[in-house]
Amino acid sequence: MTRTPSIVDRIRSSTSGRIPFSVEFSPPRDADAEARLWRAVREFERLGPAFVSMTYGAGGSTRDRTVRVTGQLAEDTTLLPVAHLTAVGHSIDELRSMCGAYADRGISNILVLRGDPPGDPLGEWVKHPDGVEYAEELVRLVRDMGDFHVGVASFPEGHYRAPDLEHDTKYLVSKLRAGAEYSITQMFFDVEDYLRLRDRVSAFDREQGDKPIIPEIMPITSLRSARRSLELSGSTLPPALEERLTRAAGTGAEENRAAVREIGIEIATEMSERLISEGAPCLHFITLNFARATSEVLANLGMAAPAAV
Ligand SMILES: Cc1cc2nc3c(=O)[nH]c(=O)nc-3n(C[C@H](O)[C@H](O)[C@H](O)COP(=O)(O)OP(=O)(O)OC[C@H]3O[C@@H](n4cnc5c(N)ncnc54)[C@H](O)[C@@H]3O)c2cc1C
């Protein structure tokens, strides 16, 4: 396998004097979406993220596209890709072969996830008969395969299936002890939730608490789609932010997208400023395969000029 830097090395060796940032892409559904993704990729090459991650469709539905596009990121761009890998619907043999496919393309950074049930993400989780039950087992499996650097998911508000925050912390620490080098959080909108997660992990296990917890930020550009993402992720919007966004959306049949977008960028900027002052290791942005909203937040932070797309 071609050795590429680990995410932890990459974010800790940032020499810009500023906090590093990273972005999340999703596999495109069709040719138009693919063209849009590549426009965003070229813009981000200019902006210099520490790494870029590529999601894995629910239930493994985008498996081939995820592998192909992540491979192209590794081979045809200057960006450092992280491939998401979920356990849903896969046997252990299939999971091993996915890792092999990533390794063949020079990808050594994998974000290991359990994934959600296909169809209804909030529905009952059913393990593949020859698969794994929890992400922790997949962390061990990927680590045992060789030279992979593994990250996992963490949840500032607690995962919606965890009985309470104590269990949630315990299971996150188990994934870290199993060999994950860092975690990326679920999106959240109250920075206090992120800070409390960090404190909980450190209190539970000081050594694991030293591993980076990378906050994920979603710049809201549409209230309707933000509500859908919140529903699917189990994250919540604090009432004060909900009110700002609802006021901006207006009372018309169609929300005022421009006004919502402006407030969404403002909120993401305020959150980023607070996260920087609290010593977050990196800012990870959900992009929906557009560079513009993220680049505007970065511009507000004095970290970039806004992108055109
Ligand atoms: C940054 C990020 C990226 C994501 N990317 C994707 C993606 O690309 N594709 C996709 O489909 N989904 C993605 N997801 C969603 C993720 O797959 C779901 O949130 C999923 O429900 C949980 O995955 P996990 O890896 O945290 O699971 P796990 O760590 O296995 O946890 C699942 C549940 O089981 C509990 N648990 C864990 N271990 C144990 C144990 N030993 N005993 C009892 N309970 C336990 C946990 O508390 C939790 O409630 C992403 C989430 C995040 C935060």
Burial of 257 (0-12, 13-18, 19+ CB in 10 A): middle
- The alpha carbon of 163 and the centre of ligand 1 are apart by a number of angstroms equal to 14
Ligand 1 atom index nearest CA of 161: 49
d(CA 233, CA 154): 12
Catalytic residue positions?
24
Sign of the alpha-carbon dihedral angle for 275, 161, 287, 255: negative
| pLDDT tens per residue across span 152-175 | 999 999 999 999 999 999 999 999
List the one residue out of 171, 151, 175 whose CA is nearest residue 159.
171
Average pLDDT, the chain: 94
Asked whether 151 and 183 are in contact (CB, 8 A), the reply is: yes
Q: What is the pLDDT of residue 7?
A: 98
Ligand 1 atom index nearest CA of 125: 21
Asked whether 110 and 83 are in contact (CB, 8 A), the reply is: yes
| pLDDT tens per residue across span 77-126 | 999 999 999 999 999 999 999 999 999 999 999 999 999 888 888 888 98
Average pLDDT on 16-33 reads 93
Asked whether 82 lines ligand 1 (CB < 6 A), one says no
Q: What is the pLDDT of residue 304?
A: 81
Ligand 1 atom index nearest CA of 172: 29
d(CA 261, CA 248): 9
Q: Is the pLDDT of residue 2 over 80?
A: no
Q: What is the pLDDT of residue 121?
A: 82
Asked whether 115 lines ligand 1 (CB < 6 A), one says yes
Q: What is the pLDDT of residue 3?
A: 63
Buried b (16+ CB within 10 A) or exposed e, 26-39: bbbeeeeebebbbb
Percentage above 90 pLDDT, the chain = 87
Half-sphere exposure of 12 (CA within 13 A, CB side): 11
Going by pLDDT thresholds of 50, 70 and 90, the confidence category of residue 21 is: very high
Going by pLDDT thresholds of 50, 70 and 90, the confidence category of residue 1 is: low
Residue labelled with tokens 């046997």? 91
Q: Is the pLDDT of residue 128 over 70?
A: yes
Asked whether 137 lines ligand 1 (CB < 6 A), one says no
**Residue 85: DSSP 8-state:** E
Angle at which helices 239-249 and 257-277 cross, to 10°? 150
Q: Which domains does the chain have, with CATH numbers?
A: 19-300 (3.20.20.220)
- Protein residue whose Cα sits closest to atom 14 of ligand 1: 115
Q: Is the pLDDT of residue 308 over 70?
A: no
Q: Is the pLDDT of residue 16 over 90?
A: no
| pLDDT tens per residue across span 61-80 | 678 889 999 999 999 999 99
d(CA 57, CA 66): 8
d(CA 153, CA 155): 7
Residue labelled with tokens 């004060």? 240
Cα 135 to Cα 10, 119, 153, 279: the distances in Å are 24, 20, 9, 27
d(CA 268, CA 79): 23
Q: Which of 53, 66, 114, 165 is the best mutation target for the ligand 1 pocket, counting ligand atoms within 8 Å of the beta carbon and taking the most?
A: 114
Token digits of residue 199: 């404190």
- Protein residue whose Cα sits closest to atom 37 of ligand 1: 171
- Protein residue whose Cα sits closest to atom 16 of ligand 1: 115
Token digits of residue 40: 């965003």
| pLDDT tens per residue across span 170-229 | 999 999 999 999 999 999 999 999 999 999 999 999 999 999 999 999 999 999 999 999
Ligand 1 atom index nearest CA of 155: 53
